[in-house]
Amino acid sequence: MDLNRLAVRARLRSPWESIDLGVALARRQWWPLFVVWLLPAALVFGATSVWLWDSPSLAIFLVWWLKPVYDRLPLFIASRTLFGESVSVAGALRQFPRQNLRDWFAWLTWRRLSPTRAFDMPVTLLEQSSGAARSARINVLHRKHASAATWLTVTGAHVEMFLSLALMALIYLFIPEQVEIDWLPFLASGELWLQWALNGLYLLVMAAVAPFYIVSGFALYIGRRIELEAWDIEIQFRNLRQRHQRTEKQSARTVVAQLLLLCVLGLATMAPSGSVRAEAPRTPEAARESVDQILSGDDFHRREKVDGWRLKDTEKQEDEFPEWMINFIEWLESLGQDDDREDEPSSYGSLGPLIGGLIELLLWGGAIALVLYLLWQFRDPLRQGLRLRRRPKAPPKAAPETLFGLDVRRSSLPADVCAEVLRLWRAGDQRGGLGLLYRATLSHLIERYQFEFGDHLTESECAQLVSLRQQPADGGADEDMRPVSGTLATFVQNLTAAWQQIAYAHRAPASARLEQLCGQWQEVFADAH
């Protein structure tokens, strides 16, 4: 993978910027992506039309279910094009068996309904990962972009639905007004040829939307890799190296050129000087004519054509409401009314309860799905609020052995900490004495109060963590963590300040101050010695 051939600028992008980039890339090569997706799908569609002619719904479901099989060729073309490699439609079709060898069963079974399919597919196709390696890689990638990948799938499904309706409306607009068709009985007739025609339209819509969905998911994957692997920094370092090499070559050439120039100038000074003819001074009129001539040139009359979108200024006019829309609205109003009049029979009366029941079912399904989504989204606060069960405790982490260069192991401490601190202090080792008291405090905080201090924290941040875990006034504390008293928190703050003064400013506290800290240490860790 040569990053210097990357067709886009390698920089950090938000998930939505990556999706926009994917849409732009898909627009540039939409036709080959459309063809390589449609041809395998059309073969499956043709085979199902022969074998399942009496079951068009099952046939289009099979075509839809095999989407992960068709998605691999557009992803193959997009991945090669991103790094400057041109792939023809015929060349991509020859790769169809090879690209579908890995994990095809998983993608057609438990992964088929994954909402992050377009984001996860490059891990299988490009990285050739499977098993535990693939799971670990997916977990890393999903830490940031999984939500955007899910919304990409939801948006793609809705775009397919809207385009299908729009395509049917476009066909309706091409029907002449003189042709009168009773649409509801016609659509409710259930003719096989009509269902297969609608299936064909839906196949074209899926093929038209697929390039944008696949390339947008691939752009999300590339954006996440740029963030994780710092492609932008690597490219900058490569450019700096090449620039440095070019500068060295140019410097050598410059030195040679300067030497040649000095030789030429030396020879020129030795040559006899010729007579210099003074130029006649210009008059104001001649200067004015020269300025006018320059101003009338092309450099000062540059024209530039700019294209862009703008709102069209249209005159307000009354548009006639379509007659078919009025009839449709009147028909919807008539569904909820009881038609007992015998003199006005309705051909749609039998369909009214059916459509009304379907609408009611969809509304109830949407309400139940919304409730389930909210319960799942806020499951942790609800569980804690209702006190249903405790979260499983995480496995204890290994206690650190050193912090800030200090040995905080319990085995490294003397039996009587304060006595040893005072002995070191009186012997003149003030830093060693106060350091012993500080690392003994850290050791007891880690062992007795389960504080998870790390090397990424400073002394002040460690003291702040101790202060945040004080016993609340109402007595409610986290059951998984032992709260600390206000006396201990105050002592840790004072000891940290004294340690920072002697460690970084080389200013030792007074002896009385050290004795006071030792007394406080014995008070807060009374059972530690």
Q: What pLDDT does 315 receive?
A: 55
Q: Cα 427 to the chain's mean position, in Å?
A: 60
Looking up tokens 């190296």, which residue turns up?
Answer: 241
Higher pLDDT: 182 or 260? It is 260
Contact 335, 352 (CB under 8 A): yes
Name, of 158-167, 477-486, 505-514, the range with top average pLDDT: 158-167
> For the chain, first and last CA: distance in Å?
62
pLDDT band at 459 (very low <50, low <70, confident <90, very high): confident
Helix 192-229 and helix 72-82: axis angle, to 10°? 40
Q: What pLDDT does 42 receive?
A: 93
The two tokens of residue 306 are 């700019």
Backbone angles phi, psi at 415, to 5 degrees: -65, -45
Higher pLDDT: 24 or 298? It is 24
Please compute the mean of the pLDDT values over residues 184-191 and round it to a whole number: 68
Contact 123, 141 (CB under 8 A): yes
Is 69's pLDDT higher than 90? yes
For residue 402, give the DSSP letter: E
Number of neighbouring beta carbons within 10 Å of residue 520: 17
Please compute the mean of the pLDDT values over residues 112-141 and round it to a whole number: 87
Q: What pLDDT does 27 receive?
A: 92
Among 48, 28, 41, 43, CA closest to 72? 41
Q: What is the tens place of the pLDDT at every residue in 308-327?
A: 777 665 555 555 666 776 77
pLDDT band at 272 (very low <50, low <70, confident <90, very high): low
Number of neighbouring beta carbons within 10 Å of residue 211: 28
Number of neighbouring beta carbons within 10 Å of residue 351: 15
Is 269's pLDDT higher than 70? no
- Secondary structure (H, E, C), 100-136: CCCCHHHHCCCCCCCCCHHHHHHHHHCCCCCHHHHHH
Surface-to-core class of residue 295, CB atoms within 10 Å of its CB (0-12 exposed, 13-18 middle, 19+ buried):
exposed
Q: What pLDDT does 57 receive?
A: 87
Length reported for the chain: 529
Mean pLDDT (the chain) is: 79
Contact 22, 217 (CB under 8 A): yes
Higher pLDDT: 145 or 273? It is 145
Q: Are strands 406-407 and 402-403 parallel, antiparallel or unpaired?
A: antiparallel
Q: What pLDDT does 401 receive?
A: 73
For the ranges 97-106, 315-324, 426-435, 489-498, which has the lowest average pLDDT? 315-324
Is 65's pLDDT higher than 80? yes
Please compute the mean of the pLDDT values over residues 10-34 and round it to a whole number: 89
pLDDT band at 236 (very low <50, low <70, confident <90, very high): low
CA distances from 253 to 248, 257, 259 (A): 9, 6, 10
Contact 477, 471 (CB under 8 A): yes
Q: What pLDDT does 467 receive?
A: 85
The two tokens of residue 256 are 């040679």
